[in-house]
Structures are given as structure tokens and as C-alpha cells.
Chain A
């Protein structure tokens, strides 16, 4: 691929932003599993596998399952963040594959936060 110019960078930024904030309309919801060394050690890989399998089995093409890095709170790993269009992201803690499947079912598809596994809503503050 040819070298990027500053203008190309801007274009990529705008396209990628739309995707990240679920504005493009292609996806209903997004589950981000937090996977750094710490999360993986606590079992994040199993959570991701369980979600991917479930999404695949039920043919949920408008649900994005993706991975990101450590969310900082090591003592509550594995963690995941659920985002649904027009709603604040919700962070879930101390997950198991079973809990993850319930979250997919009740929150991502059903729109109801699973309060017993949820830590909080919103995102962290950047300086």
C-alpha cells in the first residue's frame, strides 16, 4: 500500500471513529473482552471463545465481539465492556463463560443490564 499522507490519515481516522463509536449503523452492540497478560491469566481467553462461539452459533451478525487491553482493575479480571447504540458502556467484572453468555443474552440482545455482574457505567476520564 502506498505511503500515507496527512490527508489520508484524516480519512482513516474518520472512518475508524465511526466504526468504534457504533455510529455507522452496521452493528447493534459490541462486547470488548479485556485481554492483556493479566486478563488472559485470569481466563479472558475462555470468555472470548465462549462469546465468539455463541455469536456464531446464533448467527448474530450485527454483534461485534472484539478484544482490547487491560482495564486496570486486575483484582476483578476477567473483565468485559458492553456497548450498545445510544447507551453508556457498561463494565462487567469477575466473568465466567456462563456469565458472559448471560450478558450477551440479557444485555446485548435484551437491552437490560445484568446488574449482579456489572461494575459501573461510563468510561474513564482522560486528561
Chain B
């Protein structure tokens, strides 16, 4: 049925801080009461650009523009305008909206397709002031959870929302919470709540940015989790390399304690919970659940086999609920606005079965060969193409896209024909990559896929803890093989060896670091096997990266003898008089690329 009237409520961050979501709830209730729900549609919109006058409400088709609408104005608005058709004068925006000489933020491609849930307060509030967080409905969800919900309903709400673990695995948080709660009750042991802030993937900085932007959202999310699970003790395991994030967390926790929002008897309800920050020493493997908990206990950060899950026997053998920063930061809004709201974003309907689809949004750090490097939050199900070409603004210097790497060292590289794939947990896994914590590295035509695989395997070889043989030896063999290929000494059987080694590791390694480690190799073999063959058979590197397989040359038709390359060359391998065509002594050349950087006419090539 068509609606006769549509009410648009602005949900730009400015208006939201002025209470536009609450306004929507009240308006819908009022419309329901008056029997107008079937005639009047209420929708939320992007920023209208009049943030200082928010919350903004626009009534269509008349186009009446209301500003600073408060909950108390809603009955009048419904009675006068929506029922009787008379615009409410006192709420009308009086001076005509000025024409602003610059574009609106919602029209800038980088911002247009983003949807902020976790990053809702980024750049808006002062992360070091608890009052700022409270102004944007902070700790309201905790109040609701402690006074209007039981621990069981908290867990059920998270389960119904379909929130899946943002650390990469995508395990439904609600099921984990339920298991931890159950284990605590049956064993009569207090569970613990742990936040994994040991973000170690190269090129990933989502968790750092969430903590730096909005530390209280993580603290509030953990406290709600603790209430649901029945925990009174929590830990944030954060890497040593994040000093500012740690400082902001410490400040946030001190302020929350002062207000009684953390510590004993929160909100006077008798519920006690506190958090301790523990610093990781920078080992990549400590992002893995069992290694993280061993490290928390003061032991060497090594994983153990997981026939018994940490959610039942984890930190000091207590039931331990481990979620990542972004997962916890989602929790307050799910409690405040409900599971249905969260489930309405993203793919699938997870309300009956949290494995069915990927609800909500995901934060990505968009890096590599991309015009708009940045931290983005998008609804699940968006395509890679929209992320890279719309939000990211495409590849610099009009170069061709080659691959996008998702999921860090545990993920894979996806080629151009996967660009229209939806970004969600299951699609990415099916394509041989993974969501991971959200690093997204874009690669252009000048990237060598064998070298990319070699880079990740060399990273993992250093980070492997060495406890289990398949990981320790498998990575070493893979690295030797890849090194050989990039040096032009590859053998025809090397690709099969890599594949076989990868499959053994997937089956036999002790922890997820090892089982997912072959992904960069296997996915590049699957999608870019021709590059491996070019290295091995033709002794050529199509990306022009592997030094042993390329030589530098100067195109005599293009070179104008400007001498810039001669000055840039550190080994004096370029010769030629000024205004005469130059040439390169390939025996002296160390292939550093400094000459290419300075050549204004693109006369120097790699072949």
C-alpha cells in the first residue's frame, strides 16, 4: 500500500546526538496510537547538512522542514500536521537554508556509502570525556541492560541480532555468550570477559581506531557482556604498539569508575564488574584465543589444541568469553535499539539462526594502491567493487586493478572477477579468503602475486610460535620454495609442492595461525597461477617486482637526456651526456627503482 505522507528523520551523526533515533521511536508510537501507521511512513535519512539545528524532520510530499524537534513536540506535530494538514509554525526552520559554497558530505563518494554503527561517534565526541559519550546516549544501554533486562534476555538479544565475531572467525557472539554463561552456572565458577585488542595483521588498524575514537563503547559493551554471562572480572589484551589507544582506555575506565559505571554496585543495582588492561608483547600468535589466554596467565604465548574450547576452560581454567574490540563496540547499540534493528542491516535473517547470514556493518581499513586510504564502515553485503571504486575512489594514476587482499596473513587475494561478490563472512570464505578482522589491501598492475604470497609467508614464518611441526616446518618449506621461485630458480613441480604443503597445514596445524597460513599461497595459485608459471617457466615477473627476473632499460625514443636519473642513481650505472639519450649498465644496476621515480617522461622501463 502506498503511503500518503513520508516523514524523514535525519540520522546524520549531529542529529543522532540530538536524539533522532529516540524521536523516531516516539513518532512511530504516536502514529500507531492515532491509527496513522498505515498512512504515514517514517524513514531515517542521511545527513541533511543542518546539523546545528537538529534533529531535523522533513515531511514529504509537502517538503516542510522542521528543526530542533523534541519528543514533547511529537503529539502536536502528529495532531496538527499529519492529521489536520497544518504545518506547526513554531518548529519551522525560519531563515531560509543558506546555500553553502562547498559540497555536502553525503555527496562525497567516500562518505556516501558508509553506514556508521561502531564508528557512530568518530570525530564527533572527545574520546577523553565521559560526558561527551553520555551525551550521545552512552551508558544508556548499560542502564537498560541492568534495570530492564535479565542476563538471559541480554544473551538472547545478542543471539537474535546475529552479531558474529568481528575478529575474523565470524562465530556468533550470542552462542559464545550462552555457552560461557551455561559453563559458569553448571560448574559454579565465575566466567571472565576478555577483549582481544591484539590487532596484528599488516595493514589493519580498525580496532586501534575504534578504541581511540570511542573507548567507552568498548567498556560499555564488555560490561553488558559481563552482565549477560555472569562475569565480574574482565581483561583487555592490547598490544604494546598502541600507546594512544591504551591511554584513552585507561582514562575511560578511570572516568567510568568515578561515575560508578565500572566497579562495585554499578548504577546501584548490586552488579559488580571491573576491567584490567594487559599489554601484549607483540607476538602475532597471541591474537589466537588459547595463546592469548596463556599470555594473560603470564605463561609463554603458545596455543594449545582446542578439543576443549576456551569458552568452557580458558583463562585459569575458567569459562572465558573472548570477543574482539569491534564486536563489543556493537553491543550497546544492539541493546538500545534491539536485535531486529541490527538484523535488518546486512545479509540474511539471523534471528532464528545466527549462522544465517551476516548482519550489521563491518569496519575495514582500506589501504594499498587506492586513492582514498582510510577507515570505513559499510553494511555487510556491499560489493568489493563499491568499496574499492566508489568509497576508495579507485586506483591511483589510472593503473589497472589486480587483486584485493582481505583478512591479513590468514586471508587471500581476490582477483577482478570477484569484485561483484558481496562482502560477508560466508562469501569471502567460500572464495578462499576470509573476512578477518578487516584489513583490505588493494593491489594494482605493478604487484607481483608470487611476491605478495612470499611476503605473507615470510611474516608468518617469523611469527609462527614453533610449537607444532606442520606450521613450523610447513611455513619454512613454503618460504624456501617461494624464495626460489622469485629468484628465478623455481622448478616445475614447485606449484604442486606448495599446494600439497598448504593442504597438509590446513589439516594438521594446532591453531588458526597455522591452518589459515596457506591461504595467501593457495588463493594466489588459484587465481594467478599464470604468474607462478611465468616465474618458473619463462623466468619473467609480470608485475616487474622480482629483482632477479627483471632488467632496467631506457627507451631511446622517449629519453630527452635531462640527467635526472643520473643524479638519482646511487651506483652510477646510468651514463650519457646532457641532452643525449642515456643508457643503463645492467651489470652495475641494483634495480632499486630510484631512476623511475624521478623520470618525468616515463622513459625508464622494467622488463
- Residues of chain A having any CB pair with chain B under 8 Å: 1-6, 9, 12-13, 15-17, 19-22, 32, 34, 36-38, 40, 66-75, 79, 81, 83-91, 113, 115, 118-127
Contacts A21-B17, A75-B374; A125 near B11 (Cβ below 8 A): yes
Can you give 8 contacting A-B residue pairs, CB < 8 Å? A13-B137, A34-B123, A69-B123, A74-B375, A88-B50, A89-B52, A118-B102, A121-B103
Contact among B104, B108, B134, B205 with A12 in the assembled complex (CB-CB below 8 Å): B134
Contact of B127 among A17, A38, A68, A122 (CB under 8 A): A68
- Are the C-beta atoms of B111 and A121 separated by less than 8 Å? no
Q: With an 8 A cutoff between CB atoms, is B41 at the interface?
A: no
Does A113 lie within 8 Å of B101, measured CB to CB?
A: yes
Query: In the complex, are the beta carbons of B213 and A36 less than 8 A apart?
Result: yes
Question: Which residues of chain A come closer than 8 Å to B54, judged between CB atoms?
Answer: 21
Q: Which of A1, A73, A88, A123 has the largest count of B CB atoms less than 10 A from its CB?
A: A123
- The segment out of B114-122, B183-191, B463-471, B592-600 that lies at the interface is B114-122
A121 engages B49 (CB within 8 Å): yes
Segment with Cβ contacts to A, from B27-35, B257-265, B510-518, B547-555 = B257-265
CB distance from B198 to the nearest CB of A (A): 16
Flag whether B178 is at the interface (Cβ < 8 A).
no
Cβ of B372 under 8 Å from chain A? yes
Expressed in whole angstroms, the minimum distance between the Cβ of A47 and any Cβ of chain B is 14
- Stretch from B139-147, B428-436, B477-485, B557-565 that touches the partner: B139-147
B305 at the interface (CB under 8 A from A): no
Inter-subunit contact B46/A1 (CB<8 Å): no
Report the nearest B residue to A120, measured CB to CB. Answer: B105
Q: Are B104 and A121 in contact (CB under 8 A)?
A: yes
State whether B260 touches A3 (Cβ < 8 A).
Answer: yes
Closest A residue, CB atoms, query B13: A123
| A71, B122: Cβ atoms closer than 8 Å | yes
Given the known interface contacts A3-B267, A72-B375, A86-B53, the answer about A126 and B12 at a Cβ–Cβ threshold of 8 Å is yes
Given contacts A9-B134, A75-B373, contact A69 B361 (CB under 8 A): no
Known: A21-B17, A126-B16. A9 touches B122 (CB 8 A): no
Which residues in window 87-140 of B have CB below 8 A to A?
95, 98, 100-108, 110-111, 114-117, 119-120, 122-128, 131-132, 134-137, 139-140
Q: Is B117 in contact with A16, judged by CB distance below 8 angstroms?
A: no
Other A-B contacts than A73-B374, A127-B117, 4 sampled, CB-CB below 8 A, are A91-B105, A113-B100, A126-B16, A127-B11
A125 touches B106 (CB 8 A): yes
A residues less than 8 Å from B127 (CB atoms): 68-69
State in angstroms the CA–CA spacing of A55 and B283 once bound together.
Answer: 45
What is the CB-to-nearest-CB distance from B386 to chain A, in angstroms, rounded to a whole number? 15
What is the CB-to-nearest-CB distance from B133 to chain A, in angstroms, rounded to a whole number? 9
- Give A63 to B373 CA distance when docked, in angstroms: 32
Min CB distance A66 to B, Å, is 6
- Complex interface: chain B residues within 8 A of A9 (CB): 134, 139-140, 143
A89 touches B116 (CB 8 A): no
Q: Does B48 contact A (CB under 8 A)?
A: yes
Bound-state Cα–Cα, A40 to B248, Å: 14
The 8 closest A-B pairs by CB, nearest first: A3-B260, A69-B213, A16-B135, A122-B105, A122-B49, A125-B46, A71-B123, A120-B105
Inter-subunit contact B116/A124 (CB<8 Å): yes
Whether A69 contacts B212 in the complex (CB less than 8 A), given A13-B135, A123-B124, comes out as yes
Q: Which residues of A contact B107 (CB under 8 A)?
A: 120
B128 → chain A closest CB, angstroms: 8
A66/B126 in contact, CB under 8 A: yes
* Partner of A86 from B52, B111, B245 at Cβ < 8 Å: B52
Q: With the chains together, A27 CA to B515 CA distance in Å? A: 57
Give the distance in Å from the alpha carbon of A15 to the alpha carbon of B135 in the complex: 8
B383 contacts A by Cβ under 8 Å: no
Q: Which residue in B19, B122, B258 is a CB contact (below 8 Å) of A72? A: B122
Residue of A nearest to B20 (CB): A126
Q: How far is the CA of A17 from the CA of B14 in the complex (A)?
A: 10
Nearest B residue to A92 via CB reads B102
**B100→A121 contact, CB < 8 A:** yes
Give CA–CA (A68, B129) in the complex, Å. 10
Residues in B whose Cβ lies below 8 Å from that of A17: 17-19, 135
- Residues A68 and B125 in contact, CB atoms below 8 Å apart: yes
Q: Considering the chains assembled together, what is the distance between the CA atoms of A11 and B268 in angstroms? A: 17
Least CB distance, B460 to chain A, in whole angstroms: 25
Q: For the complex, give the distance between the alpha carbons of A113 and B52 in Å.
A: 16
**Residues 46-82 of chain B, each 1 if its beta carbon lies under 8 Å from chain A, else 0:** 1111111110000000000000000000000000000
Contacting residues, chain B, for A22 (C-beta < 8 A): 52
Q: How far, in whole Å, are A119 and B265 apart by their CA atoms in the complex?
A: 47
How far is B137's CA from A87's CA once the two chains are assembled, in angstroms? Answer: 23
Asked if A68 meets B374 with Cβ closer than 8 Å, knowing A22-B52, A113-B100, the reply is no
